[in-house]
Amino acid sequence: MLDLYRISSYYQNSAQMNDRTLQQTGQPEPAVSIKIMDWSEPANFKSWVKRMFAPQALALMLLISLGFITELRFDWAEHLVGGYLVSTNSFRPRSGAVWETSRRSTTARETLDKIVTDRQASQREARNAASFAQIAGSFSASRGIMLSADHFRTLYLRLPADLAEKIVSPFDLIQQLNTGTWVRTYMEKAGDGLDIYLLNKQNRVLQSLTISREILETIERHENAANNSLTDLPGFENRIYPAKRFFTACAALPEDVRKSIILDPEKILGTPGRVVRVGISDEIKAGTIELGFEIKKGGHYKVVLLQGQDWAIWRLRTLLEETGAETDAQGTTLP
């Protein structure tokens, strides 16, 4: 670059001198022949070697070698490029195969987290459930829940005897418990009901059960009765009797009839409080009629629902109608 500058300066000076000579003598200055050489290419091998091992060239080669070695050792170039890409990531358009793969991975991870969270919530609700009806409402049709054998047995024992018998015979449960192979219970939605599978340690099915929609509705009705009075429950209108009148009529019937009127009297004996009114349903289901016993403890009322044989209930109702007008616990006349 310096040599080219000198040549350019030379030609400028020559042109100026030629102009002055022309002005003084009237004749131009004679032309000077100059041989122009290629200043960027060595003239011979010696010049090439000299230029190759010049301090500037050696320093440049050393610098390049150091950069290459440090890159292999510390990967500073990758970190530098990565840092730049991270700092400018928010300004670049979200497109391309890498971004699409990352988006799908993030979406899949969020979906999986939601599924796991929902399943854990369903399991917690199921473990805290006090009845099969509550369990049925704690999870959706797309997933099931797992309970221990002891938890299932606890829920089973809370059912009235007639309802429990419709799900599974108590003798079958005793047999499963005695074998020692039943360790867990899997439940899943089956339409409006529940399918239940008794499993061993290898998750093999020992016995399958079904709780129909009608049984679940009956269980729900029992749960609602626990926090209401007879007048709040449908099906007992115009058939609510004072407890004293009801039990007096029962006492007038033979023993076999009394046993058929209240099939599960232990439920009443196990409930704290005093029976103040008894309701008789007007609906017959599978040869039984529902009875509602309103029990008062302190200022709280609850209703215990039991089943009785229809023929025995009809004999009791006939006797109640013969004894006169129906009155409630406070002595008011019922229509």
Domain-terminating residue out of 213, 248, 268: 213
For tokens 């007007």, the residue is 282
Query: What mean pLDDT is reported for the chain?
Result: 78
pLDDT tens by residue, 213-252? 888 888 888 777 777 788 878 878 778 899 899 999 998 8
pLDDT tens by residue, 271-329? 888 999 999 988 888 788 888 899 988 888 888 888 889 899 999 988 888 875 444 44
Of 227, 133, 143, 129, which Cα lies nearest the Cα of 187? 143
φ, ψ dihedrals at 315, nearest 5°: -65, -40
Domain that holds residue 278: 226-322
Q: What is the pLDDT of residue 39?
A: 54
For tokens 């399958």, the residue is 208
Res 94 pLDDT > 80: no
- Least confident range from 15-19, 63-67, 189-193: namely 15-19
Cβ atoms of 262 and 308 within 8 Å: the answer is yes
Task: Retrieve residue 279's tokens.
Answer: 């309701």
Q: Could you tell me if 181 and 237 lie in one domain?
A: no
Please state at what angle helix 76-87 crosses helix 55-74, rounded to 10 degrees: 70
Look at residue 83 and tell me if it is in a domain.
no
Look at residue 250 and tell me if it is in a domain.
yes
Taking CA 150 as the corner, what is the angle to CA 148 and CA 155, rounded to the nearest 5 degrees? 100
Q: What is the pLDDT of residue 1?
A: 47
Q: What is the pLDDT of residue 329?
A: 41
Q: What is the pLDDT of residue 199?
A: 92
- Measured torsion, CA atoms of residues 138, 143, 146, 151, in degrees rounded to the nearest 10: 20
Domain-terminating residue out of 213, 240, 262: 213
For tokens 């122009």, the residue is 36
Look at residue 335 and tell me if it is in a domain.
no
- Least confident range from 10-24, 109-123, 145-159: namely 10-24
69: amino acid identity, one letter: I
Res 73 pLDDT > 50: yes
